[in-house]
Structure 1
Amino acid sequence: MKLRMKSMPDAILQVIASGAFTVAAITPAMAQQAAGSEPVQKVVVTGSLISRTDTETATPVQVLTAQDIQRSGKTSVAELLSDLAANGAGTLGTGFSGAFANGASGVSLRGLTVGATLVLVDGHRLAPYPLSDDSQRSFVDVSSIPFDAIDSIEILKSGASSIYGSDAIAGVVNIKLKKNLNGTRVSAEGGDTQHGGGKTKRASISTGFGDLDADGYNAFITAEWRRQDAIKVSDRDSNDWANRDWRSRGGNNLTLGAPVAGLDASGKPRSINSFLTAASTPFLYTPGTGTTSNAANFQFLDSSCNYTKYMANGCTVRDTVSNIQPQSENINVLAGFTKKLGGDWELNAKASLFQRNSINNRGMGAIYSPISFAGNTTLVNGVLTAGVNRIASTTFAQGAVVGSGVTNGLAGAARLYGYIPGVDPTNTLDNTSKTTRFAADVHGTAYGWDVNAGAGITEVKTDIDYSGYIDRPALYAALANGTFNVLGGNDPSVLAKISPRFSNSLDSKLNYLDAVASRELLQWGAGPVALAVGAHWHKREQNSPPAGPTLTGQVASTSAFVIGDETNTAIFSELQATPIKDLELHLSGRYDHYDTYGHSFTPAASFKWAPTKQIGFRGTFAKGFRAPNPAEVGNAGSFFTFNAIPDPILCPDGNQNTKGNVPSQCAINPPYVQTTNKDLKPEKSKSYTFGVIVEPVKGLNATLDYYYIEVNDQIVTAAGNLPGFVPTFVRVPATQMDISNGDGTTSVGTPSVGTAAYAISPYINGGTTKTDGLEADIGYRWRLGDLGTIRANLSATHILSYKTIAVDGTTYELAGTQGPSSVSGATGNPKDRAQLTLGYARGPWDLNATINYTSSFSTLDESVGATSCDSTGLDAGGRTYFQGKVQPAQYCRVSSFTTTNLNLQYKVNQNLTLRAAILNLFDKQPPIDVGTYGNAGAQTSYNASLHQAGAIGRFFSVGAAYQF
């Protein structure tokens, strides 16, 4: 332990020396209490039920005030929270174009995924996003919450199930909205990127009236509008991380329409891009002897491309549609009303509508391209296999009709390669998500008790319009009967049949009742003994059906659905005492009953001891749990794939050159149909923290905390996790395919069985994750009199260990690696993240510099078989950068990443404030990450969760705010 504890200061010093920190303008909670001479008030800090005057609690809490948020230079809450040092592996960013939960953003404290972090609004639960992360993990979408409605954000970095119940394993993010407002404030700002795309506009207005003390009430309304344009891959493809041609870097040419990617050293086709790839012009190809060296095997259907030009990469296609950042638009309205009642009772009511629209796509460069004539759809027993049976292409007999005006003129059966003209060249999802919330809280005193009670109705409704999906049977029928022209110019009615547009509505509701009462019971030791007791009830309903055409198999999609509900009833309490001077003790416990699985009891204990004003110690121990959600125990299903494996029958030895093997089946990604399990138990955790609080001189505050979290009975799928689990694949009927002759050539034949369609895999309780690390928060404020004030705030996290233990007992150390790459786009698990904010204020000027730092990490993930650099690109991410080649060692690690943001505010007078910001001041590019699959559809090689700021590039913005 001593050796581990020593490593953190060295890591921090190294980070400071390199100037590698990240910002979110974060101020530790302890800095808040030392900030000034405002009247002392009792407040309830996230993680406790008992009000207090000292906001530095026994549990680590990080606070972002409204002023901190404005100083960050960010334009959305999702961007702000993505820079948190404690936000780790499994975080879900809006740049992840292929996510199940497309368009949404979630927080993953301690790297334990978004499902283990509880997000509250005003201390209460909110309906989760109706599209779960990886179709399993429930989370609250923070991308829809507006800046101007926020009063503060508190991040509790400790287990808190004893207070809040399920999901609070890694911690809690509590977003506190404004309670009252007087006067009117209008603001507007605009920004743009230096390299194209991403233009952003934001405007807001807030107005309120009524004085609580004089009038007995306050009413206000705030509205905000924000629009952000898309950034396309084509806006950035001059950079290595967005360029598909890897030949100069020792890899393959993955440029759309480049056949060289499909040839080995002897000129024979390999299984990349379906052996050959669709080009700018459709063409027919007959396999012949199994090589592509004979021009007579090709028939190009347009004079703009021919054999010579094609083989010289002269018929490539530029991806002008795939997104790096989706187009989005937010419209948000919050109305509040506060009324003083009799005595000291007060009523607070809020109604809000947060609407986000985003246009997401899965990219035209996806391995299973939806817009090429090559088919990849199979329907078996009424279940769509969603891109499983990867047919190389549509096959036409010699002399057969191939659409309108085209026949196969080659000497044998031919395959059609090309892109389908006239349809959306991506799987596009036009996603509109509306979050509505009606909440009322009442607080006051009765019979010596401080009472807080609340009720709320919350709902998230998501409507999705789909385009770019292909009805393969309709397409093939139109080709065979000659009604579809492969060169374009087709009638809209024909296109509508081939690529139908369809919609889907998904809904998530959560209604709650809360009540908490607290009071001082007696004097004991050096202070009072305080008790808080409470009760909670919520009912959650999720209705996320699959879109009709995906359910019936009309079109291929990563179809998933969740339909289910849960009712939770709980009682809880907290006891606080000061048995001796300067020692504060807390005990808390909660009993939860869920109608889905049964009950859980979660206790916790904490202490804070401050022997002097200059130093203090604190620690916590907590148990926690995550209840199985409707996606795991309800009526639900989804498709998922593991890493490439050989078909056990069609390619048993994995060698595509073995005689009798089907080469295309030597590296398949077979899908599994994920099913629910009514007998699941909740995930259970235990955690503890120990920290030091120091204030050696006035204005300097620092905390250093050690944390440890262990999660058991994790809910995982049986395939790949349960020892002895042997999937039985459902297979499609056997059809003609290329079969190896054993000498490097192939012949067309019918194998003994059809290709694997899918297998069923239920959820199980199995496996353990253990993680521990150190976190530092340092705040310094230096008042220089007439020369102004200097501020410095540092938040840093260092992961000592992150271990996953499989059901069979195998332990994998994943700290500083790509793993666990099985969740949320292989986001990576760097050991160090930090945020440093430097500020200077004098008179009307307020200047802030924020430096964001993420350390380097390995692209290996041993938990999925990536044990060497050669296996990184394929095994960990399913990518083909170096398939069939030796991956250069330089791509076995992802480099560290540092960005700097500047924000300047100038107060012209009492009413008008001007601001300007530059994000990513030095225009740092993202490091290449060949393991992440977060942007696989667009075939970009950067980490969209950790390094999105680099992909966006330098961003300028200016704005103004006027209040009266």
Structure 2
Amino acid sequence: MTFKLKSMPLAISCVLASGALLAAPAMAQTQDAVSAQTPARVVVTGSLISRTDTETPTPVQVLTAADIQKSGKTSVAELLNDLAANGQGTLGTGFSGAFANGASGISLRGLTVGATLVLVDGHRLAPYPLSDDAQRAFVDVSSIPFDAIDSIEVLKSGASSLYGSDAIAGVVNIKLKKNLNGTRLAAESGNTQHGGGKTHRASISTGIGDLDNDGYNAFVTAEWRRQGSIKVADRDQFDWANADWRSRGGNNIRLGVPNGLNSRLTATNSPFLYNPAGTGGTSNPANFQFLDPTKCNYNLYMSGGCAIRDTVTNIQPQTENINLLVGMTKKLNADWELAFKGSMFQRNSINNRGSYLSAYSPTTFGGNNSLSNGVVTSGNSRVPSTLIPATATFNQLGAPARLYGFIPGTDPFATQDNTATTTRFALDLHGSAYGWDINVAGGITKVKTDIDYSGYIDRAALYNAIFNGTWNPVGGNSPALLNTVSPHFSNTLESKLNYFDAVGSRELMQLGAGPLALAAGLHYHKRTQNSPAASLTANGQVAQTTAFVIGDETNTAAFAELQATPIKNLELHASGRYDHYKNFNKFTPAASFKWAPSNMFGVRGTYAKGFRAPNPAEVGNAGSFFTFNGIDDPVLCANGNPNTKGNVPTACGLNPPYVQLTTPSLSPEKSTSYTLGVILEPVRGLNATLDYYNIKVTNQIVSAAGNDPSYVPAFVRGPITPLDIANGDGTTTVGTPALGPIIYATSPYVNLGGTKTSGIEADIGYRWRLPSDLGTLKANLSAAHTFSYITEAAGGVSYQLAGTQGPSAISGATGSPKDRAQFSLAWSRGPVDVNTTVNYTSDFSTIDPSLGVTDCSGPGGTSFNVGGRAYFRNLPQPEYYCHVASFTSVNLNLQYRLSQNLTLKGSILNLFDRQPPADVATYGNSGAQTSYNASLHQAGAIGRFFSLGLAYTF
């Protein structure tokens, strides 16, 4: 049936012409101008059967090419991040601590990037070779260019019955351009108000041929984009980027500042030697020798005057995109068309995680842990003693001493120069035969990621050079020696996915008030992932770089959908899919309905089963190191106080690494979801949808560490070596502890517990013409409210995480705010289009109940319990930081048509320069010592952004 709304043009293209990023519900066109034409039939994401009514039983949000161009954004990742349905677990480019550093993914309903299926032209694409948290496969949306996109459809309902694995929370279908006539040139540049982040973009699109007249169309579109980095130093005038927390009741954790947390011994702007056996400890200047006294001396050091301004760590990485899309469509006869698309999307980004500081190891170095091909090796590069002997030429203390400082001539942080190249070659054949509409498609897709590493230190080589006298700790070392100590090395990771799809649809018979339509099809894909460990990581020569994954996945499936209109105004759908994988088979059904008794009112609902198949990172030859929570060594720091006599300070508040092991016997995650909503047009010009959703995921694949109460870590310890031991008065003495330091513990993947979430989503659009030919106003509101987000652990224990920081075990403790909304107001008159968009994220608590935290204002607070953050460690955390405040940003975009062919565009993002609220519990940026949430509040960290551009068509 066609749900006609006769009072206004409510085609989705009209509603979305406002430039709103929150597409209002897709209503059908009913204007007099089009009523005389035969309505075009389209296939909407979430169904296989073509239709004239784009308002489907399932909630679908649509962003058109016009919306994208008018958004003021410069990347698809930025665009999708602002969707109201995008929740915790989303992966943004500003997340410096991500395993999949450099890439971006979307997390509908907050169920992680692994539960949202991203398609290109309705088909699968090879996932990014680096998985989120080294586990969840996802498509990197940051690599897809603006000018290649025709539209984006966001299906906010489970869809495994049609698309198979990963569509638990919904589907994002990015539709690339199908054909193009004429030529379009565009260029724009932008800059931030507070420094850094200069952005330039240029594109050209051109096409020839008319399908109806010439029988073919061929086009090419190319785009270049370069975005400059924003460093911590560019924003350290703001509290959230300033590491000196003393005025806020916390610690001064700036680089190079001695304090009680580091036993007043830390790398600073000039190397120094310290005699750990000297009388008086750190309070005695005679125990220190500053190797370059012109930069730092004892008094200056102790007062914090030798601190280092962080000019290296990224808030926003430098990125460069080069994209090319070529397409050609050929009419074979009246009924058949063959289309080809070839694309190469390349993204280069320079990332540093801000955590592997290029500094000397003053205490005994136990060696780098390495993990490759299922084998854990520890201590390959162990340095039994890092004490600089008294006989060293630069040691004037007369006793063995420890060397503190940054290693000169090397990158101060571990840096990854990441170039990801996504290639896709696709053929689509569609036509009619024997009463069937037939679509056959096949494609070859690959993502190749080349990473150049710098800033990693070969500790054994470093101390060998120090002990044999060839190394100058202040600088001036030869390039050859620097390369030995801090080698530059590379790695290549690949992810491939080849697919074949065949779908046929037809009307079988007349049933009740309409036809009974059937669609059926077959699917095949073969996925391989070859992401080996870097060579110097595999042998333990340097610290861990990326998780390794080697494995494959083959899926064959058959699926079908039925659509019927048994009585007037009632549309019914039923679908099902049978999937075969190597270790399991899965059948997933779904059903939906839409009842529209009048032009002003409709009801719709869906019910769906879903699943997520274990991927190569979980069942293949794979593994990674991870940390999930700060602990105190149960033996070497039993009471958690680094100053207690007998404790080893470095064993307090440490984040021990866990070795993640795969489990070949894992079964798939399962889900049950349903939606129930209303479709309204109560008055002329106003249209709205309101949908309730409820999703339950069971049999989740999680790491045993931090999730399974029966899991007891069996810590592997290094050899007993001399370490600093607290004297009880704030000083330390070198001694021999009872045990060696914790090196790691192993943790397998397990099927355990689940997640239940429910909420409501609203899309409201209103359009009206102003009197006296003053133009047209369009308003759109997209809002999402989470009623509940419950994590179920083993033993029936459950935690309500809606409105809290949790779950911390997923994607950087990105938080679970209850409310997200996007409102846009657009005015157009003649050559002028003005669009304002307001993005809102509600506040939430920094407490994560799943970690057993109930009070964040005690000593250490949540900032310690959630993962070792040091803002308020050993100090009472102010109540203010127990909540992350709400955040609202406003974007303004103006377009003015200077002539029929030339358009001027100007944008101001974050118009009022709102700064991000403090989030002391997220660990996405903890390595950079910045206290903001990069997944939810990145726009605030960037600050006010101006851009100006021109587009010319001919």
Match of 2:626 among 637, 640, 665: 640
Q: Does 1:613 align with 2:599?
A: yes
State the distance in 1 between where 2:698 and 2:124 align.
24
Matching of residues 672-687 of structure 1 within 5 Å: 672-687=658-673
- Counterpart selection for 2:907 from 917, 924, 927: 917
Structure 1 residue aligned with 2:331, among 340, 353, 357?
340
Q: Distance in 1 between matches of 2:369 and 2:268?
A: 31
Residue aligning to 1:185: 184
Q: Residue 744 of structure 1: CA displacement?
A: 5.5
1:719 aligned residue: 705
Alpha-carbon distance in 2 for matches of 1:284, 1:156: 61
Amino acid at match of 1:369: L
In structure 1, the partner of 2:950 is 960
Q: Map 1:728-739; keep pairs closer than 5 Å.
A: 728-739=714-725
| Alpha-carbon displacement from aligned partner over 1:835-875 (angstroms, at most 9, x marks no partner) | 11110011111110011101111111011233211331111
Deviation at 1:276, TM superposition (A): 1.6
Deviation sequence 1:341-390 (CA, Å, 0-9, x none): 12311111100000000111112xx3x52334446662469877899999
1:610-637, CA deviations, whole angstroms, 9 ceiling, x for partnerless residues? 1111000001110000000000000001
Deviates more, 1:146-155 or 1:779-788: 779-788
2:488 to 476, 488, 501: 501
Tell me what 1:309 maps to.
Answer: 300
Q: Which amino acid aligns with 1:563?
A: I
Cα distance change on mapping 1:779 and 1:903 into 2, 3 Å: same
Report the 3-state secondary structure (helix = DSSP H, G, I; strand = E; otherwise coil) of the residue aligned with 1:564: strand
Q: Give yes or no for the alignment of 1:854 onto 2:853.
A: no
Q: 2:386 aligns with which of 385, 394, 399?
A: 394
Q: Distance in 1 between matches of 2:245 and 2:316?
A: 23
Instruction: State the Cα distance separating 1:407 from its structure 2 match.
Output: 1.7
Letter in 2 for 1:499: S
Residues 591-670 of structure 1 mapped to structure 2, 5 A cutoff: 591-595=578-582, 597-670=583-656
Residue 787 of structure 1 and its aligned partner are, at CA, apart by 2.1
Offset at 1:94? 0.4
**SS, match of residue 283 in structure 2:** coil
Structure 1 residue 683 displacement after superposition: 0.2
| 3-state SS of 2:549 partner | strand
Asked whether the 8 Å contact 1:408–1:414 carries over to 2, the reply is no
Distance 1:417 1:387, change over 3 A: farther
In the TM superposition, 1:321-360 aligns within 5 A as 321-360=312-351
How far the C-alpha of 1:654 sits from its partner, in A, is 3.3
Which residue matches 2:445? Answer: 458
What RMSD, in angstroms, separates the aligned Cα atoms of the two structures?
2.0
Following TM superposition, by how much is the alpha carbon of 1:282 offset from its aligned partner in structure 2, in angstroms? Answer: 1.0
Choose from 415, 426, 434 the match for 1:428.
Answer: 415
- C-alpha deviations, 1:134-168, integer Å up to 9, x for none? 11000000001010110000000000000100000
Distance change in 2, residues 1:385/1:671 (3 Å): farther
Residue of structure 2 in register with 1:887 after alignment: 877
Whether contact under 8 Å (1:389, 1:755) holds in the other structure is no
Q: How does 1:508-527 map to 2 (within 5 A)?
A: 508-527=495-514
Quick one: structure 1 residues 85 and 388, their matched pair in 2 at CA, closer, same or farther if it must change by over 3 Å?
A: farther
User: How far apart in 2 are the matches of 1:515 and 1:751?
Assistant: 67
Aligned residue in 2 for 1:899 = 889
Answer whether contact 2:20 2:825 (CA < 8 A) is retained: no
Q: Residues 741 and 372 of structure 1: is their aligned pair in 2 closer, same or farther, counting only changes over 3 Å?
A: closer
Query: In the aligned structure 2, how far is the partner of 1:374 from the partner of 1:329?
Result: 38
CA contact (8 A) 1:157 1:170 kept: yes
- Aligned residue for 2:250, secondary structure, equals coil
The residue that corresponds to 2:926 in the other structure is: 936
Between 1:657-666 and 1:571-580, the stretch displaced more is 657-666
3-state secondary structure, aligned to 2:865:
helix
**Which range moved further: 735-744 or 548-557?**
735-744
Give distance in 2, aligned partners of 1:482 and 1:723. Answer: 52
User: Equivalent residue for 1:27?
Assistant: 23
The aligned counterpart of 1:11 is none
Matched, 1:162 2:161: yes
Write the mapping of 1:813-852 to structure 2, written as runs, cut at 5 A.
813-852=800-839
* 1:550 alignment partner, SS class: helix
CA contact (8 A) 1:801 1:815 kept: yes
Structure 2 CA distance for partners of 1:893 and 1:141, relative to 1, 3 Å: same
Deviations 1:53-106 (CA, angstroms, capped at 9, x unpaired): 110000000000111111111111000000000000000000011211111000
Deviations 1:112-132 (A, max 9, x none): 000000000000000000000
User: Superposed, which structure 2 residues align to 1:788-803 within 5 Å?
Assistant: 788-803=775-790
Conservation of the 8 A alpha-carbon contact between 1:781 and 1:790: yes
Aligned to 2:217: 218
Cα separation, 1, equivalents of 2:384 and 2:74: 45
* 2:339–2:428 Cα contact (<8 Å) kept: yes
Q: Which amino acid aligns with 1:335?
A: V
Residues 118-197 of structure 1 correspond to what in structure 2 (within 5 A)? 118-197=117-196
Deviations 1:767-798 (A, max 9, x none): 11000001000011112362211111110000
Q: Is the 8 A contact 1:471 1:498 kept in 2?
A: yes
Q: TM-score, normalised by structure 1?
A: 0.93
The alpha-carbon deviation at position 738 of structure 1 amounts to 2.0
Contact 2:630-2:867 within 8 A present in 1 as well: no
Deviations 1:428-462 (A, max 9, x none): 11000000000011111111111111000000000
State the Cα distance separating 1:740 from its structure 2 match: 3.6
Residues 33, 485 of structure 1: alpha-carbon distance in 2 compared, 3 angstrom cutoff: farther
The 8 Å contact of residues 568 and 592 in structure 1, kept in 2 or not, is answered as: yes
Q: CA deviation at 1:274?
A: 6.1
Normalising by structure 2, we get a TM-score of: 0.94
Contact map agreement 2:19 2:66 (CA 8 A) in 1? no
Deviations 1:465-512 (A, max 9, x none): 000000000011111111111111111111000000000000000000
**What are structure 2's unaligned runs of at least 5 residues?**
1-17
Does the CA-based 8 Å contact 2:323-2:345 persist in structure 1? yes
Deviation at 1:33, TM superposition (A): 4.1
Match of 1:473 in 2: 460
- Structure 1 counterpart of 2:11: none
Instruction: Give the C-alpha shift of residue 753 in structure 1.
Output: 2.0
Aligned residues: 924
Give the match for residue 18 of structure 1: none
Tell me if the contact between 2:22 and 2:763 (Cα under 8 Å) persists in the aligned partners. Answer: no
Unaligned 5+ runs, structure 1: 1-21, 264-271
Equivalent residue for 1:12? none
Quote the offset at 1:247 in angstroms: 0.3
Residue number among 268, 280, 301 corresponding to 2:269 in the alignment = 280
Deviations 1:737-760 (A, max 9, x none): 122445665432112321111111
Aligned partner of residue 796 in structure 2, secondary structure: coil
Q: CA deviation at 1:655?
A: 4.1
Q: 1:743 to 1:233 in 2, by over 3 A?
A: closer
| Contact 2:27 2:54 survives alignment (8 Å) | no
**What CA distance in whole angstroms lies between the structure 2 residues aligned with 1:688 and 1:504?**
44
Q: What secondary structure sits across from 2:939 in the alignment? A: helix
- Residue 590 (str. 1) matches residue 577 (str. 2): yes
Deviation string for 1:712-749 (max 9, x for gaps)? 01001112222322222221111001224456654321
Q: Could you say what secondary structure the match of 2:168 adopts?
A: coil
Greater shift in the superposed pair: 726-735 or 459-468:
726-735
1:704 aligns to what?
A: 690
User: Amino acid of the residue matched to residue 395 of structure 1?
Assistant: L
Matched residue of 2:795: which SS?
coil
Q: Call closer, same or farther: CA 1:926–1:32 in 2, change over 3 Å.
A: farther
Task: Compare 53-62 and 26-35 and name the one that shifted more.
Answer: 26-35
Match of 2:527 among 540, 562, 580: 540
Distance in 2 between residues matched to 1:804 and 1:381, nearest whole Å: 32
Contact 2:505 2:518 in 1 (8 A): yes
